[in-house]
């Protein structure tokens, strides 16, 4: 994925690609750079119900451990087993093959009111 302007962002350094009632979620390139070399990824199971703002996974690097938060409440539709098997994909291609989970929601309008950041707003946040 080359065009990141269509994505939504969170202040926890996650990105979302919203398609209907499903969001593909990963961490931003900035977050991947701050973490350093990712060596372990733990993701929720398909079918798990998650609550907005709660920790749903973990990303370990050579420098630290980061948490993955659910940006909205929903059900895990898919977890990227490729990043579990090959964690460095998070560093190599954070907006493509390094995606983490797909989250389904009952009502897609939840994405409208969730307070996500645009690319410009996110860029301003990390520039501070």
Euclidean distance between CA atoms 26 and 109, whole angstroms:
20
- The answer to whether residues 19 and 6 touch, using CB atoms and an 8 Å cutoff, is no
Mapping DSSP to helix (H, G, I), strand (E, B) and coil, where does residue 118 land? coil
pLDDT at residue 127 above 60? yes
Residue-level pLDDT at 91: 96
Residue-level pLDDT at 92: 96
Residue-level pLDDT at 110: 82
Each residue's pLDDT tens digit, 79-111: 999 999 999 999 999 999 999 999 999 888 888
CATH 2.40.50.100 is the classification of domain 8-107+115-121: yes
Residue-level pLDDT at 112: 82
Each residue's pLDDT tens digit, 38-78: 999 999 999 999 999 999 999 999 989 999 999 999 999 99
Residue-level pLDDT at 6: 85
What's the whole-model pTM score? 0.92
Estimate the share of the chain in helix, then strand, then coil, as percent rounded to the nearest 5.
25, 35, 45
- CB burial of 73-105 (b: ≥16 within 10 Å; e: otherwise) equals bbbbbebbeebeeebebbbebbbeebbbbbbeb
pLDDT at residue 113 above 60? yes
């Amino acid at each position: 994925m080359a065009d990141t302007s269509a994505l939504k962002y969170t202040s926890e350094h996650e990105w979302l690609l919203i398609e209907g009632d499903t969001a593909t979620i990963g961490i931003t390139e900035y977050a991947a750079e701050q973490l350093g070399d990712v060596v372990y990824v733990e993701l929720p199971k398909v079918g798990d119900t998650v609550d907005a703002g709660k920790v749903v996974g973990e990303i370990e690097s050579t420098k630290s451990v980061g948490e993955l938060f659910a940006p909205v409440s929903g059900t895990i539709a898919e977890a990227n087993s490729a990043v579990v098997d090959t964690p460095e994909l998070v560093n190599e291609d954070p907006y493509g093959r390094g995606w983490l989970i797909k989250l389904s929601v009952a009502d897609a309008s939840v994405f409208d009111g969730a307070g996500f950041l645009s690319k410009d707003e996110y860029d301003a946040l990390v520039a501070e």
